[in-house]
A and B are shown apart, each in its own frame.
Chain A
Amino acid sequence: MLIPHPLLGPRDAQEFTYLGDARLIDRPDGMAEGAGAAFHDYLYLRDNPAGPHRELWYHEHGDRSWLVVTRDTTTHEILGAELVKGPGR
């Protein structure tokens, strides 16, 4: 696969390490009320869509960027890739 790195252009998937669902970005506040339940959902509940999936890829053999890649799980088509640390984050 080729990942369209937003800074470096198309890069071979072998340069990346895969993590999983991009919702891992939305880590709950550990000091908040009900943090236990929030962390349970955060850690263990995942959608497994047949279709577009936002997921985390790390350019480990590259510039160390964490990317959010939108990939169609049924075709492997890459619909987009952005830095996890983008504007607005």
Chain B
Amino acid sequence: MKRIDGGLIDRGQILTFTFDGRNYIGHGGDTLASALLANGVQLMGRSFKYHRPRGVLTAGSEEPNALVELRSGARQEPNTRATVAELYDGLEARSQNRWPSLAVDALAVNDLAAPLLTAGFYYKTFMWPKAFWEKLYEPMIRRAAGLGALSMAPDPDGYDRGFLHADLLVIGGGAAGLAAALTAGRSGARVVLADEDFRLGGRMLAESQLLDGQPASDWVAQAEADLRRMDNVRILPRTTVFGVYDHGIHGAVERVGDHLADPGPVRQRLWRITAKRTVLAAGAMERPIAFADNDRPGIMLAGAMRAYLNRWAVAPEGRVAIFTCCDDGHRTALDLVARGVKVFAVIDSRAEAPRFGDYNVMRGAVVTGTQGRRALRTIEVTQSDGTSTWLECSALGVAGGWNPTLHLTGHHRSRPVWDATIAAFVPGQGGPAGLAAAGAAAGRGGCAAAMADGARVAGEALAALGMSVTGADLPATEDPPQAIAPLWHVPGKRRAWVDQQNDVTVKDIRLAHQENMVSVEHLKRWTTLGMATDQGKTANVTALAVMAELTGKSIPETGTTTYRPPFTPVSMGVLGSGDTGPGFRPRRLPPTHRWAEREGAVFVEVGPWMRAQYFPRAGETHWRQSVDREALAVRRDVGLCDVTTLGKIDVQGADAGAFLDRIYSNAMASLKVGRVRYGLMLREDGILYDDGTCARLAEDHYVVTTTTANAGPVFRNMEFARQALFPDMDVQLVSTTDAWAQIAVAGPKSRALLERIVDGFDLSSDAFPFMACAPLTVAGGLRARLFRISFSGELAYELAVPARYGGAVMARLMELGADLGVTPYGTEALAVLRIEKGHAAGAELNGQTTAAMLGLGRMVSVKKDAIGAVMSRRPGMAGDTRRLVGLRPVDAEERVVSGAHLFTEGAVRSMDTDEGWITSACYSPHLQTMIGLGFLKDGADRMDEVIVAANPLEGSEVRLKVVSAHFVDPEGDRPRD
């Protein structure tokens, strides 16, 4: 093909680009496909299975063949359709699925082996031996039948996300879409007009049809200018609406920077468009006719040939012919002739084919073969009397009729219905609520018809919203005739391609039928027809028709496959929209975070929180050194730890106590003001759910703490209980996790330290005993709450201050405690301390355990109704004899690993003899050996027994002695000191 005059390209803009390393020149307004064609390049890719040479078939997003790799380095982008890749200066493109080069492809031998590589070949051939599949067959197939390659480097580009709301969303900016948008815009509706092309106008840009006696592009420019002047209209070019979801929600991708050498800060944007009504004006896609060897470069759809001619000023060279079964093929011939391109034949399968202009018509004739390895050379034309002739031909336009682009109407439950007059499927009933198709997408194509339809459908949508409609002035134009006598395939012995992307031929469909793939869905999966990047946009309807012929059913009886989002491929990057790396989810920082950074803490992610894991000091080279030092400091002196992340729920109201009696398995209404109680929460099925402390600050005021992980879910469940289960109770809840900074002050010298910061508050055990709580002030008037509770097993307190003072109070405590040996400790030491003390945490409350297993069975009160209490008493659950025990290695040097399973010495290792598992393990600096907690069958009665912990993952076994879970201070004297 070659470039001619005219067209909608900016010749003042000279754009250089490369394809497979060679330099070419194109212009502004070109796509990669149009620019390559203008440079005489027809061969653009190799087919998926047979590695057949392929050129461009279409001029739009439905392209099955011309898939290329764009850009290089980290931005390398595979499987991009050359037909929608907007040209820019410096664009690099490479062909795919070929080696060593596009022209000479070693795997083209697959084509010679085609009799073997029929549909279902993989299923039949690579069945056995089974072990070969993963190691040999699959890698081999993947290498041979591949598309483009990923760079495997992180994507350097930015992606954005946005939300739009509209009265009317118009999908497609062609004749129907522009008429709809103009109507709605003038009527004052909020309109979003999305078009996948970089230029509005749709099919009008590809046709020579005049509007009001002027080129259609002039009218389109005027319409666009009118729309841009309306504040209530938003135009989104380069935007593909890829899916319709519930209640008027649409997903769309705007390619913001794909057409720029440097994509800029935002490469693509994911739009979530919520519209009260939607007009689908997506137009129609031309379908090919299947005939022998119909896939050679140089054979393209007649409508695409017309688009390249009229919009991109690229004309076919040499001997040009059209093969058609409808009037639309003649339209291409007319346009070609008008632009000085000689058309030697319009081969029309209809016996009564018309002739509209200065070209030769072969009536009742079909194309029955082609030749030309890398480009079309000759075609075989067979007349109705059976005589065949080979004719020289370098460019063949194929016109099989148009299929409405109705995909989005099928994204819910609707199936398309067959319209015999246009020989195509049109949208059926039951599509997405509020969405109506207009113009060619509804089977009402032709520029004039589509415009009138777009205006009408938009008007009806607005009227349904109760808006008054101001009509748009639409131009006068006359649509050419559109008669059709559908021809799906030309019978013959050679392969006739239906799905060019997946190399599915009429033969394959026949084979699938012979092998009893009766349903269309089976056909699809057996042959891979309609899969991959183009989802069979040019193939599906033809395949159905061939299937119908084979089964003797009608096309509508044969049915269609289901249309699912996305309409065209969507990059994972834009679906993530920047939710990568640190932006993967919001990060929560406790109030002492800056202080901890200054202290040199190493941080760990705990859910969304960043918590200080440990605080390395000079000379420490291993985390264990830091953690051991921190844990020992708490047992010897005093340590500080930010425990703000534990959930805090403020419970207030006259019925607060009664409400908490329902939430906790143990009693809370009886808790005295100024006291704290440990509490257990169960799931309604009786399994342990969460634990924490409950403090009573006043008659009608409690503060509940939860574990860090369950802060949200516990609050949610308590709200459910309050609103749904016990709506008559006078109680209110508020989450105060972020309102209060909470610092654990733990260790024998914690009282001495706190005495230096409280404002005249008596901390003696008489005045403020273990499990006391009180509001007070610290540091000269700062509002605070103090709880005498202990997770470490030492004399300990938790001090809460308003969150914004957390960092300052932590720093002050460090300063005041310098001579007491005050030491900050992180989550690792926190865990060591609680394992040494035998306190349960997430590993013990793992959704499989009961209160009885923790040795806390008596905390499930039988005197009141609480969530989970009834079911915790059912048989099976109540009979579980596994109990929490401590475990010490017999040989102090041995490792204790959580997750290991417990067995009686000498027992066979099996599910039947399994007696429990290790939940938590750590090195105890206090005992100078590793220790563990675990659930062991009849554990409470097996103290001092030696058992075996098996760790099959590492193939190790360790002998452990069963001991009390309280490795430290089993009598519990220290916190009461």
Contact = CB atoms under 8 A, between A and B. Distances in A.
Nearest to B685: A43
B443 to A, nearest CB: 25
A2 B274 contact: yes
For the complex of A and B, 8 pairs with smallest distance between CB atoms: A30-B865, A2-B247, A85-B723, A1-B246, A76-B246, A84-B724, A66-B723, A25-B724
Given A1-B247, A83-B723, 12 more contacts: A2-B246, A25-B724, A30-B869, A39-B871, A43-B685, A56-B720, A64-B719, A65-B723, A66-B719, A74-B413, A75-B412, A89-B727
B249 interface: yes
A40 B725 CA distance: 17
B870 A30 contact: yes
Interface string A40-76: 1011000000000000101010001110000000111
B334 interface: no
B724 A56 contact: yes
Nearest to A83: B723
Given A2-B249, A24-B724, A75 B869 contact: no
Contacts of B874: 36
Given A29-B865, A30-B865, A58 B247 contact: no
A66 B717 CA distance: 10
B866 A30 contact: yes
A7 interface: no
B412 to A, nearest CB: 8
B433 interface: yes
Interface in B393-419: 412-413
Contacts of B727: 84-85, 89
Nearest to B862: A31
A81 interface: no
B684 interface: yes
A35 B413 CA distance: 43
B248 interface: yes
Contact of A27 (B247, B712, B723, B725): B725
A77 interface: yes
Interface of A: 1-2, 17, 19, 24-25, 27-31, 35-36, 39-40, 42-43, 56, 58, 60, 64-66, 74-78, 83-85, 89
Given A36-B874, A43-B685, A89-B727, A66 B720 contact: yes
Contacts of B685: 43
Given A36-B870, A58-B716, A58-B720, A43 B684 contact: yes
Contacts of B247: 1-2, 76, 78
Nearest to A17: B716
Contacts of B684: 27, 39, 42-43
A31 B861 CA distance: 11
A56 B274 CA distance: 24
Contacts of B249: 1-2
Nearest to B683: A43
Nearest to B875: A36
11 contacts: A2-B248, A25-B724, A25-B725, A36-B870, A43-B685, A56-B720, A58-B720, A60-B712, A60-B716, A65-B723, A84-B724
A84 to B, nearest CB: 5
A83 B684 CA distance: 22
A86 to B, nearest CB: 9
A13 to B, nearest CB: 8
Interface string B344-371: 0000000000000000000000000000
A21 to B, nearest CB: 12
Interface in B625-662: none
A24 B246 CA distance: 26
Interface in B240-271: 245-249
A11 B383 CA distance: 64
B415 to A, nearest CB: 15
A39 B869 CA distance: 10
B725 A35 contact: no
Contacts of A65: 723
A35 B412 CA distance: 43
Interface string B859-886: 0000011100111011000000000000
